[in-house]
Chain A
Amino acid sequence: MDIKVIKTLKAGDKLEPLTQKPISRSTLALFAGASGDHNPIHIDIDFAKSVGLDDVFAHGMLGMAYLGRFLTLFTDQKNLRSYSVRFSSITQVGAELKCSGKVTEIFEEKDEKFMKLELSATDQNNDVKLMGDAVIAI
């Protein structure tokens, strides 16, 4: 999709969803190193078991990074003014996150025009993992 396409969208319009590849243990190990979040709960099953969990789980910030990347497929990052999420539930190993977005509002502030989007990431069982929103200048 053309990166400028977002300018033509209006409230209620949806972005074309993008499904990420399943989250593997390798991805979690790489993301631990790449992101600087070395919490063993994401990479060390022995540690996870020692605190009563069955398995490691994905970094919330990995899902947020996927959703952020999804967003910047539709607009230049320089237009991004705010981006926030709530991590609704734990993302398990093997999850295939589907990133979706919907325009909720077009508004003006101080002679600048903005678009507000609602974003979500759901897994293959349709469980919501992240809910968020973003404001971009258009």
Chain B
Amino acid sequence: MSLQVNMFDPKFVGHSFPTKTVKVEEGKLRFFSKTIGETNPIYFDKDAARKAGYRSLLVPPTYPFSLTLESESLEEKYVPVGMDLGKLLHGAQKFEYFKEICAEDTVTIDAKIIDIFQKKGGALDFLIEEQTLRNSDGDLLATLTQTFIMRH
């Protein structure tokens, strides 16, 4: 076998990435909500959001994943771990929600690789990552668990 095959390197199991901080920007939130076809004003209009009991524009359920990408791209994070963008598939995604996230919030993100394994004799290469999002008071906002797959 002379072909060079990029695999997730199992030595990174348990690896924690440096803590990152992002500010939730309202313009980006509106762009995201519009792109996914959202029409509820709590995602676009601060007054509507406040009337509904939120501090500001509400972060939609899957936007925390985008916050994690804003803190560090998949490429920056995972090319050193062996990732090849052209082979990458998103296998599964889980969110657990503890407190709402709104525009202007400052969110700190801790990410850790919890498992790397192979299936089908190495044809599929799996990486599972857990991320924890907290506000500036240290309160838990959400946890994300994502499964990435490279097909060889």
Seen from chain A, the residues whose Cβ lies within 8 Å of a Cβ on chain B are: 20-21, 27, 30-31, 33-41, 47, 50-51, 59-62, 64-66, 68-69, 71-72, 76-78, 80-87, 90
Contacts and interface: CB of A to CB of B under 8 A. Distances in A.
B32 A21 contact: no
Contacts of A83: 61-62, 94-95, 97
B36 A66 contact: yes
Interface of B: 28, 31-32, 34-38, 40, 52-54, 58, 60-62, 65-66, 69-70, 73-75, 85-97, 100, 145
Nearest to B35: A34
Interface of B, helix, strand, loop or mixed by DSSP? mixed
Given A31-B35, A60-B89, 7 more contacts: A30-B31, A34-B36, A34-B66, A39-B88, A51-B86, A65-B61, A83-B62
A78 B54 CA distance: 9
A115 to B, nearest CB: 15
A61 B92 CA distance: 10
B37 A64 contact: no
Contacts of B36: 31, 34, 62, 65-66, 69
Interface centre among B58, B65, B85, B90 (most CB of A within 10 A): B90
